[in-house]
Chains A and B, each alone.
Chain A
């Protein structure tokens, strides 16, 4: 009896493991296929592989609209990451350290942009600027991206800020530090992992954004995702697979690199000051 039960448990565990492996394959198979196909010598963007070639990367580097879209997306994402991180950190600081009326409402409101479908946010902003007769501008697009990234930055920095005891800041204040320097010298260094994480996430959110950008972009401006979308309307060419691979390298490589640098930095620091507790 007991043996049979144990057997059942083992099978359930095996099933769990099997489904897990399948889910991971499911998540990465299409991406792997795309990366492999980007090196295909064939004229068509599909299997079978007819040989190894880098020609599609060469074509990509000569494709001016793609390069322009890449540059546009890059600077929008950089500005979005910078601004969102600053205002997100400041907001988290207020939400964690201060008590004020409407705090609860504000913390709910601030995560709404992550929950409301982008189509609705997209249409809403367009209707608003149409109502006041304003054109679509780059500023609008960037501010829109900041709106979409703010919830994530606030959530990440808030979670970390809760773990930083306020007595550290208050100690600095009582020793005569100004409000700003106590924040800069005490809070910010302890917050760095969340700041970097938030900034990277804000970067990728902006760099990836498709639906809302379709509504908000000024006439004639293409961001990387909208450019891909319009290329896909024509056909799936190997060039798109190459483009996809480059994008994957950029958006996965940068956060991974950031994470590694961060980890080695904190490790170095740990060695310097062995007693650093944030909890």
Chain B
């Protein structure tokens, strides 16, 4: 007994979303599920493992302080990067929102342009600034301020700088989107009631833009903590982050069960932060920020 199809029939909806749903199941949900199972597999030798279940991987992860150190460093670098992004990103977002400049769109376009430039290229281009033959060292040498090139590359500072560079547009756009949503008459009202502009900012604008700031902070933190390329290019071996550890464990040591364990750990830790965030803020702000 087939029911007649209605105009907005749920069955038709399922047909329409089927391709994306299949893709998400086979390339996102299933891989993470299988990876979770893999964390209990036994590592035999490089590239070989058996499905004999063991907790050895988790035991190794939880007892070896090497891994805990990596995780803490990754979270620290992610947090520092996110906070710097928040501080440095708020000003431009506010400026673009408040300016009376006629070509505002140009300022916004310039924020989007970096998204189009290859991430690898944006990262390595810092070598031209910070390297021994980079702009800063060559200029300082020419001016006679220093006699030896300063070692500015291949340290944690360079890694954070590189991540700041690729994350700032995300932050600025997120804050900007929430500033755009503020009813400007509220600010005029505050001013007419005798607020100074600083007070109006502190009491009205800042609190109302916090959702965007929070979304930006989460996004920057998650993307920084999950990064692989930036530490690889701008850091030394000591500045490797969790993503690099995962890559080396799988592609170098071919220790798949341990690599899966580390991936699941990173997934859970970042998921934990995202869950705290959505608990208080919901998903909608992130959606707005990503969609532009």
Q: Which residues of A contact B (CB under 8 A)?
A: 5, 8-9, 12-13, 15-17, 19-20, 23-24, 26-31, 33-34, 37, 44-48, 87-88, 90-91, 93-95, 97-101, 103, 106, 108-121, 123-128, 130-131, 143-144, 146-147, 150-152, 154-156, 158-159, 170, 173, 201, 204, 207-208, 210-211, 214-215, 224-225, 228-229, 232, 236, 240-241, 244, 247-248, 251-252, 255
Contacting pair A119 B263 (CB below 8 A): yes
The complex places the Cα of A87 from the Cα of B20 at a distance, in Å, of 7
What are 11 A-to-B residue pairs whose CB atoms are below 8 Å?
A5-B196, A19-B91, A47-B133, A106-B17, A117-B266, A123-B260, A127-B31, A204-B115, A211-B229, A228-B120, A232-B124
In the complex, given contacts A23-B88, A47-B134, what are 4 additional A-B residue pairs having Cβ atoms less than 8 angstroms apart?
A31-B121, A37-B128, A101-B10, A143-B27
The complex places the Cα of A93 from the Cα of B16 at a distance, in Å, of 8
* Chain A CB within 8 A of B287 CB: yes
The complex places the Cα of A131 from the Cα of B168 at a distance, in Å, of 39
Contacting pair A44 B133 (CB below 8 A): yes
Contacting pair A150 B196 (CB below 8 A): no
Contacting pair B27 A147 (CB below 8 A): yes
Contacting pair B121 A244 (CB below 8 A): yes
Contacting pair B266 A115 (CB below 8 A): no
> Given known contacts A23-B91, A120-B226, A143-B27, is B121 in contact with A110 (CB within 8 Å)?
no
Q: What sequence of 0s and 1s flags, for each residue 4-15 of chain B, a beta carbon within 8 Å of any chain A beta carbon? A: 000111101110
Q: How many A-B residue pairs have CB under 8 A?
A: 282
The complex places the Cα of A33 from the Cα of B139 at a distance, in Å, of 13
> Given known contacts A27-B168, A37-B128, is B24 in contact with A155 (CB within 8 Å)?
no
Chain B: which residue is nearest A159 at the CB level? B291
* Chain A CB within 8 A of B83 CB: no
Contacting pair A116 B116 (CB below 8 A): no
Q: How many residues of B contact A (CB 8 A)?
A: 95
User: Majority SS of interface residues in chain A?
Assistant: helix
Contacting pair A98 B91 (CB below 8 A): no
Contacting pair B135 A47 (CB below 8 A): yes
Contacting pair B259 A208 (CB below 8 A): no
The complex places the Cα of A110 from the Cα of B27 at a distance, in Å, of 12
Among A44, A100, A110, the one with the most B-chain Cβ atoms within 10 Å of its Cβ is: A100
Contacting pair B88 A19 (CB below 8 A): yes
Q: Which of B61-69, B206-214, B243-251 lies on the face that meets chain A?
A: B243-251
The complex places the Cα of A248 from the Cα of B115 at a distance, in Å, of 11
Q: Which residues of B contact A (CB under 8 A)?
A: 7-10, 12-14, 16-17, 19-21, 23-24, 26-32, 34-35, 38, 88-89, 91-92, 94-96, 98, 110, 113-122, 124-129, 131-135, 138-139, 142, 164-165, 168-169, 172, 196-198, 219, 222-223, 225-229, 232-233, 242-243, 246-247, 250-251, 256, 259-260, 263, 266-267, 270, 274, 283, 286-287, 290-292
User: Majority SS of interface residues in chain B?
Assistant: helix
The complex places the Cα of A115 from the Cα of B133 at a distance, in Å, of 36
> Given known contacts A47-B135, A109-B24, A147-B23, is B16 in contact with A123 (CB within 8 Å)?
no
Contacting pair A33 B95 (CB below 8 A): no
Chain B: which residue is nearest A259 at the CB level? B109
Which listed residue (A9, A131, A225) contacts B34, Cβ 8 A? A131
The complex places the Cα of A116 from the Cα of B213 at a distance, in Å, of 20
The complex places the Cα of A68 from the Cα of B123 at a distance, in Å, of 23
Contacting pair A110 B287 (CB below 8 A): no
Contacting pair A16 B95 (CB below 8 A): yes
A213 to chain B, nearest CB (A): 10
The complex places the Cα of A154 from the Cα of B164 at a distance, in Å, of 27
> Given known contacts A204-B115, A228-B124, is B34 in contact with A120 (CB within 8 Å)?
no
> Given known contacts A100-B10, A152-B290, is B31 in contact with A128 (CB within 8 Å)?
yes
Contacting pair B120 A115 (CB below 8 A): no
The complex places the Cα of A252 from the Cα of B118 at a distance, in Å, of 9
Contacting pair B118 A248 (CB below 8 A): yes
Give the residues in chain B near A28, CB-CB below 8 Å. Answer: 110
Give the residues in chain A near B242, CB-CB below 8 Å. Answer: 119
A222 to chain B, nearest CB (A): 12
Chain A: which residue is nearest B172 at the CB level? A23
Give the residues in chain A near B26, CB-CB below 8 Å. Answer: 128
Contacting pair A91 B246 (CB below 8 A): no
Contacting pair B119 A208 (CB below 8 A): yes
